[in-house]
Structure 1
Amino acid sequence: MKHHALFARAATVLATTAALWWPAQASNVEPTANAALSGQQTVGSSLFRHWGFEVYQATLHAGAAFNAQRFEQQRFGLALQYRRAFKGSDIAQRSIDEMQAIAPLSPQQASEWLATMQRAFPDVKAGDELLGVHVPGSGARFYFNGQLRATVDDPAFSARFFGIWLSPGTSAPQLRTALIGASAR
């Protein structure tokens, strides 16, 4: 029985790794940020500051009928253009912390999602852009400076990750208001 559980855990890790590192070959995954945002419009944008320091310019792209109250059910892109350098591992840790602040994760889920984001998020410098695209029922796609970097085939992860900015429980309600603009129906 122990070997079966160990095998199942190894298979899960392998599947997650494969989903992250073989995304560009899938025919339904856009290879560039421009292609991923085709047909989307800017919903809102705002500069995010933390302790007075400029961190990133956040911009939400979505279809004309985007409804922020049902963000998990709609396709959209969230672009973060960084104003300073950060390590990818620090971005991943901060993301887990923000997800936990909205609603607790199990230790196993937090560990798995942290590892996923550590692989997906590169180190950034001022001017770099990370774009996350939420694909309902599928998961998330991440683009770095316009090029596909990773996919995460986990709808629960995607909804929780983008909830950092779009959930009513966000730690940055003013940023959320600026991003969702008139879509706050």
Structure 2
Amino acid sequence: MRRRSVCHLGAATTLAALVGTPGWARAQTQPPELLNLRQLAQAQMRFFGLLIYDIRLWAQSQVDAQNWHQQVLALELEYARSLSGREIAKRSLAEMRRQTDIGAEQAQRWLSEMEAAFPDVKAGDRISGLNEPGEAIVFFVNGRLQKRITDPLFGRLFLGIWLAPQSSEPGLRSQLLGGAGGGR
């Protein structure tokens, strides 16, 4: 699977947004749910060469690769194709299980929560997950509040799909955390 490199964003990206930059490097308008954060890294998720989504890491400051779950941060996924919300939820649960054992009752509860959080998506749709450390994860769909899940373990495991050492996509993890100044 080939992924594009992470880029650090700052003044140059802001300038690029004003003058227009072609391709994936163009800056986007900051999503309203992420106004107190800055974009630190970006990567792409591909499956058999097909672009599934662009993923962006947002935070207030550098992200520590070991303690990312204790920081206010968000992951924003911008989908490149149509996907079923139910399938997104099922795949998310399978990826969460890579990090720890999840009992059947807990898994069913979390699957139901994710099915409520994730609608069917089409190309251009965005889902953002905002980590409130030790409290909750808040999901936004295209900038609108969709669901708040007040379970810190759920939030850590969900974001861990991309940020935990057990991620099934270690290269993507490295791009996100390496681009966020957190190292490995």
Q: Note if contact 1:139-1:155 (Cα within 8 Å) is conserved in structure 2.
A: yes
Moved over 6 A (4+): none
Please give the residue correspondences for 1:58-97 in structure 2 after superposition, counting only pairs within 5 Å: 58-97=55-94
Cα deviations across residues 75-131 of structure 1 (Å, max 9, x unaligned)? 101000000000100000000010112222111111110111011110000010000
Query: Displacement, 1:51?
Result: 2.2
The whole-number CA distance in structure 2 between the counterparts of 1:46 and 1:65 is: 17
Tell me the equivalent position of 1:36: 33
* SS of residue in 2 equivalent to 1:101: coil
Deviation at 1:71, TM superposition (A): 1.0
Within 5 A, what are the aligned runs for 1:142-181? 142-181=139-178
1:124 correspondence with 2:116: no
**Rg (Cα) greater in structure:** 1
**Who is 1:183 aligned against?**
182
Separation in 2 of the partners of 1:102 and 1:159? 10
In structure 2, which of residues 104, 112, 115 is the aligned counterpart of residue 115 of structure 1? 112
TM-score normalised by length of structure 1: 0.79
In 2, Cα distance between the equivalents of 1:130 and 1:99? 17
SS in structure 1 of the partner of residue 145 of structure 2: strand
1:105 counterpart residue number: 102
CA RMSD of aligned residues (A): 1.4
* Unpaired stretches in structure 2, ≥5 consecutive residues: 1-29
How many residues were matched structurally? 153
- How far did residue 63 of structure 1 move? 1.5
Quick one: which amino acid aligns to residue 127 of structure 2? L
Q: Deviations over 1:27-77 (max 9, x none)?
A: xxxxxx844322311121111101221100000001224212101111101
Q: SS in structure 2 opposite 1:104?
A: coil
Contact 1:43 1:183 in 2 (8 A): no
**8 Å CA contact 1:62, 1:77 repeated in 2:** yes
1:149 & 1:71 partners in 2: Cα distance? 23
Give me the whole-angstrom Cα distance separating, in 1, the residues matched to 2:122 and 2:65.
30
Q: Say whether residues 1:52 and 2:43 are aligned partners.
A: no
What TM-score comes out, normalization by structure 2 length? 0.79
Higher relative helix content:
1
| Unaligned stretches of 5+ residues in structure 1 | 1-32
